[in-house]
Amino acid sequence: MELNDLHIFCCVARLGSMSKAAAELGYVQSNITSRIRALEQEFGVALLDRSPKGIRLRPEGERLLKYAEQIRQLVEQAKLDVPAIQVRPMRLGASQTLTAAYLNPLIADPDSEIQVFTRSPEQLVHLLESGELDAVLLNREPEQTNRLEKVFEAVEPVAWMIGGNVHESVASELPLLASRDVRCPYRLQTLEQSKRCYPPRRLIEADTLESLVAIVESGHGLALLPIALRTPCMRTVRLPGFDKEKVQISCYRKAFPSDTFDDSKPGVSNEWERLKALITR
């Protein structure tokens, strides 16, 4: 059975005439007749009663007409819906630090199926809840998690870093560096360490990651940072009495994901694993 056969059948039923259906569809009448007979042979019943006055549907034809109309409507709806359903890249949000530490390979990859957006953690959660992002990477616990689902978590290696030309004996005298973000996990650990310093260490607060890294590279400060942010002009250092704790990074998405992001698409689920691999590499 072909869809066009059902279309012809519906037209014949609506007009009550083979000749009128042929004229409307642009077919010769013999073609209309043969397609109706093909349907009758396929179903094994007569669908129409033919008379000089025209065509009348038999009970079997009435039942088929209901299904044919439903099929026709579904096909028309599919023509509207299918072209509009396009799998788009995952929209991933991350803080400035996490983007610089882990996501540059995604940004540089022209074939990546992940688009990266850099915002503050508070903005990221808002954009995720509003549906403007599909997932976010956070190195802190969001204030409200009841609407979020944790996709995966990974431990972030961190280390105390100094300028590459700074000797370790001098490092213990350098000022401590920290972000102004009061919930930054690296800042919180740095402040905890500063309480143990005697005499007290000077604390320099930086507004941006770039400025903080520049101070470390210049040899004028000591900072706790993700190891992934180490540059050729920086090196890690162990300082007596200076501890460090690993930082937890979590990837969240909405508890009820947007239907505009097809995370069931073959290969898309692997993007979660790619993200985790980038953080734990």
Block residue for tokens 């507004």:
207
Mean confidence (pLDDT) of the chain: 85
pLDDT tens digit sequence for 189-215: 999 888 877 778 899 999 999 999 999
The token duo for 51 is 């008379």
Distance CA(214)–CA(228), nearest Å, equals 16
Question: Percent of the chain having pLDDT more than 70?
Answer: 91
pLDDT at 82 over 90: no
Distance CA 79, CA 110 (A): 31
In the chain, which segments carry CATH 1.10.10.10? 3-83
DSSP 3-state assignment of 167? coil
Q: Which overall architecture, per CATH, does domain 3-83 show? A: Orthogonal Bundle (1.10)
Nearest to 6 by CA among 54, 61, 44: 61
Domain 90-156+248-280 CATH superfamily: Periplasmic binding protein-like II (3.40.190.10)
**pLDDT reading at 145 higher than 90:** no
For residue 264, the cross-strand partners are none
Q: Where in the chain is the domain with CATH 3.40.190.10?
A: 90-156+248-280, 158-245
* Candidates 3.40.30.10, 3.40.190.10, 3.40.50.920, 3.50.50.60; CATH matching 158-245: 3.40.190.10
